[in-house]
Amino acid sequence: MQLYNSLTRTKEEFIPHEAGKVSMYTCGPTVYHFAHIGNLRTYIMEDILDRYLRYTGYDVTRVMNITDVGHLTSDADTGEDKMLKGAKREKKTVMEIAQFYTDKFFEDCKALNIRRPEVVEPATSCIDEFIRVIESLMEKGYAYEAGGNIYFDTSKLRQYYVFHNFEEEDLAVGVRDGVEADSNKRNKADFVLWFTKSKFDDQELKWNSPWGVGYPGWHIECSCISMKHLGEHLDIHCGGIDNAFPHHTNEIAQSEAFLGHKWCNYWFHVLHLNTNSGKMSKSKGEFLTVSLLTEKGYDPMVYRFFCLQSHYRKSLVFSWENMDNARLAYDKLIARIASLKAEGEIDQTAFDEQKAAFMRVLDNDLNTSLAVTAIYDVLKAKTNDATKLALLADFDRVLCLNLIENAEKKNAQKEEEKASSDDPLVKEIEELIVARREAKAAKNYAEADRIRAYLAEKGVTLVDTKEGTTWRIEANA
Ligand SMILES: [Zn+2]
């Protein structure tokens, strides 16, 4: 499989460290609020990568952290503690907030068919691990103490800016955003590994450390949790593109300083979801969550379908109009699949041919938009329905769009509607509802009442609503 590697800025043949096995690390959510659908786009695309690697036969182990401590509103080690901010807003403890939003995050993932990684580790359960690694960095001369905090010394590295699209000027952006310069830092790019002095005296969660009571920096979390579960060699590290700098840059700095060798071979970054006014964020514009999509009547699968229609290395523009188009296309697709009849023998030649075409596009840097096209190619293919259904079920092991389930649901619904319209009682009720409406329109209320009473005797209750009259059969009739 060819995979784009942000570290080398080229598409490379993916070769895992250990044959047949893949270790994959995903930066998890900061659990102080709901995830917005922009974050979830990243998790959907990472999920496709995870599932595709499994589909092609790899034994994948995936690890995700949960940031439940020490993540500041600015990545430059300053700003407010997001967790504490959430706790204050909702008048809960930090741990209550963390549990609540962790559960919500996985509910959203489930609704979007995003697999839960094998290991999900909250930062607060790994404090000893962080301290051990920071101690070692101190011993090796990569870290120093200043003003009560422990900093990573970026000048000790041969190369700090490993992602070439991010240079030192990017740090200045943080400064422009009102971030205070930290005079304890020896170099502008240095970052905090352990805080004992922070701007918030009321930081709720603190731990003992060799440097005093405090809490870990954000970046150390991912390095330690990854190494704890996946060892010294990581195959793929995933995340949103906004994490490449400084978060992933700092992860590489501290992990490789600690290990003394290269840590992660492939960096998989997903581009932003934008709105017409720019990058989607929690603070800007409408707060778009999975629950909001559901409230507005969109099946979460429509959002997954929408995301798959574009490549992960392109930014994607969200609008309600785009969602409506995606819904229309998804419903049409399900209707076409629902019309297939599971009859006949599977045509193995046609099956292999279509499957190879599907794999060819995903092997090319996970081209999901062409993988969606492959679904339509199957529907158009000159082969029988049984083969088509088998292929779609097979593709859906990767795409996870509930293609077969929703088609079956649609057919069951049709059956139900047909069964009830064949029922003579239903026919009579429907006709009488029309007659009653006409009677009412002609101000013949006696007739309208007679119809209602006649049906009531048969145990049928009419319910008048703004949209018209519906009916139900009383259970004890
Ligand atoms: Zn991370």
Token couple for 325: 């188009």
**Residues 64, 102: Cα–Cα separation, whole Å:** 12
Task: Compute the distance from residue 71 Cα to the ligand 1 centre, in Å.
Answer: 11
Task: Compute the distance from residue 318 Cα to the ligand 1 centre, in Å.
Answer: 25
Residue 411 exposed, middle or buried by CB count within 10 Å (0-12, 13-18, 19+): middle
- Report whether 303 contacts 309 (CB < 8 A): no
- Report whether 220 contacts 25 (CB < 8 A): no
Task: Compute the distance from residue 222 Cα to the ligand 1 centre, in Å.
Answer: 5
Task: Compute the distance from residue 251 Cα to the ligand 1 centre, in Å.
Answer: 7
- Report whether 304 contacts 112 (CB < 8 A): yes
Task: Compute the distance from residue 234 Cα to the ligand 1 centre, in Å.
Answer: 13
Task: Compute the distance from residue 289 Cα to the ligand 1 centre, in Å.
Answer: 22
Task: Compute the distance from residue 385 Cα to the ligand 1 centre, in Å.
Answer: 45
Beta strands 234-240 and 21-26 are parallel
pLDDT digits (tens, 9 = 90+) for 122-172: 999 999 999 999 999 999 999 999 999 999 999 999 999 888 655 555 554
Token couple for 451: 């119809």
3-state SS, residue 86: helix
What is the enclosing helix (H) or strand (E) of 227? helix 218-230
- Report whether 308 contacts 314 (CB < 8 A): no
- Report whether 433 contacts 469 (CB < 8 A): yes
Task: Compute the distance from residue 438 Cα to the ligand 1 centre, in Å.
Answer: 66
> What is the distance of C-alpha 98 from the center of its chain?
18
pTM of the model: 0.86
Task: Compute the distance from residue 218 Cα to the ligand 1 centre, in Å.
Answer: 8
Task: Compute the distance from residue 248 Cα to the ligand 1 centre, in Å.
Answer: 6
Task: Compute the distance from residue 59 Cα to the ligand 1 centre, in Å.
Answer: 23
Cβ contacts of 89 within 8 Å, gap of 6 or more: none
Residue 75's pLDDT is what? 46
Q: What is the CATH number of domain 290-414?
A: 1.20.120
Residue with tokens 């009488």: 432
Cα distance between the two ends of the chain? 64
Task: Compute the distance from residue 226 Cα to the ligand 1 centre, in Å.
Answer: 9
- Report whether 471 contacts 460 (CB < 8 A): yes
Cβ contacts of 133 within 8 Å, gap of 6 or more: 220, 223, 224, 227, 254, 258
3-state SS, residue 427: helix
Residue 14's pLDDT is what? 98
CATH 1.20.120 residue ranges of the chain are: 290-414
CATH 3.40.50.620 residue ranges of the chain are: 2-270
Residue 38's pLDDT is what? 93
Task: Compute the distance from residue 296 Cα to the ligand 1 centre, in Å.
Answer: 32
Task: Compute the distance from residue 211 Cα to the ligand 1 centre, in Å.
Answer: 24
Angle at 274 between CA 295 and CA 13, to 5 degrees: 110
Task: Compute the distance from residue 66 Cα to the ligand 1 centre, in Å.
Answer: 9
Residue 282's pLDDT is what? 64
Residue 182's pLDDT is what? 79
- Report whether 414 contacts 335 (CB < 8 A): no
Strand partners for 21: 59
Q: Check residue 319 and report its DSSP letter.
A: -
Task: Compute the distance from residue 367 Cα to the ligand 1 centre, in Å.
Answer: 25
Residue 177's pLDDT is what? 43
**Residues 458, 160: Cα–Cα separation, whole Å:** 81
Which residue stretches of the chain have pLDDT < 50?
74-77, 172-179, 477
Evaluate whether the domain defined by 2-270 bears CATH number 3.40.50.10420: no
